[in-house]
Amino acid sequence: MAGEAGPDPPTPESGEHPRAQKMAVLAPLIALVYSVPRLSRWLARPYYLLSALLSAAFLLVRKLPPLCHTLPTQREDGNPCDFDWREVEILMFLSAIVMMKNRRSITVEQHIGNIFMFSKVANVLLFFRLDIRMGLLYITLCIVFLMTCKPPLYMGPEYIKYFSDKTIDEELERDKRVTWIVEFFANWSSDCQSFAPIYADLSLKYNCTGLNFGKVDVGRYTDVSTRYKVSTSPLTKQLPTLILFQGGKEVMRRPQIDKKGRAVSWTFSEENVIREFSLNELYQRAKKLSKAGDSIPEEQPVAPTPTAVPEGESKKNK
């Protein structure tokens, strides 16, 4: 009829919503496909495969029909192959803890490491709740895993010099015009393992004649940890520790140490290291030294603007 209006033509706004929805779905899928080769190489390592199996042990035992039929359950329907209400509560609490911890994670390794660690803790509670013998068996498997299987070390490209307890002082004093950034690490520290590729990438970007990157294993050379006041306790928050040396002396470090001797929380991301250590400014100054060579007279080091370091932190024990 003449008085009836036809359907409204599609407006530009109405066409944007389906497109936006498609992009919202495609973007994470594309990112996942792009990261599959890296994740496959990462998960193919025995350490991560075994750790994943231990993390999913209770899920496998509870859900696999040959095994779950013999397990006790508190479900009203008596189904032994499904989670009861208490198990669901533990798993939900685990999810909340992992989400809170992963808010400060900056690498895929840290995210997955948190999932593995807290999943194993939840598995201990769940297995002990089922049967004390299963709990003891699971703890034994975890201890054997920790003693026999170590996390893989970073083996990628880097411009880093590794020091021993005898070479670190000699190298820092050899040419006082060279600025050094030294990482104090331990192979058993998961935080050090996660920071290794970030530190290697920084060395590839900023290493030059006047700005060098070094590492020393304080887990192996304990006297170095004593000289530079880096704690190697299993509960320490000082691993890794980055120290900037100019003129052979310590200028600043991260994490800082407060008056009570405790490490101040600090996130070891690439952006934080570049900003806190003023790497762009240090690199430009070092390039001038590289171009001029030995003709540049030795100058007083120009440091970033760090917060105060407690007295005695910047002096090495003779």
| Per-residue pLDDT reduced to its tens digit, 251-271 | 999 998 888 878 888 888 889
Higher-confidence residue of 125 and 2: namely: 125
**pLDDT of 73 higher than 80:** no
> Could you tell me how far CA 1 lies from the centroid of its own chain?
70
Nearest to 221 by CA among 185, 176, 247, 248: 185
Range list of H helices, the chain:
12-43, 46-55, 57-63, 65-68, 85-102, 108-130, 132-148, 168-174, 190-206, 222-227, 270-276, 279-292
Distance CA 248, CA 180 (A): 8
Name the pLDDT band for 69 (thresholds 50, 70, 90): confident
Question: Is residue 177 a contact partner of residue 210, using CB atoms and an 8 Å limit?
Answer: yes
- Residues 128-165 have pLDDT tens digits of 988 899 999 999 999 998 888 777 777 778 899 999 98
In the numeric block, which tokens belong to residue 131?
Answer: 């049967």
Which domains does the chain carry? 29-148 (no CATH), 161-293 (3.40.30.10)
- Residues 176-204 have pLDDT tens digits of 888 999 999 988 887 888 888 899 999 99
**pLDDT of 172 higher than 70:** yes
DSSP of 94-141: HHHHHHHHHTT--SHHHHHHHHHHHHHHHHHHHHHHH-HHHHHHHHHH
pTM for this structure? 0.61
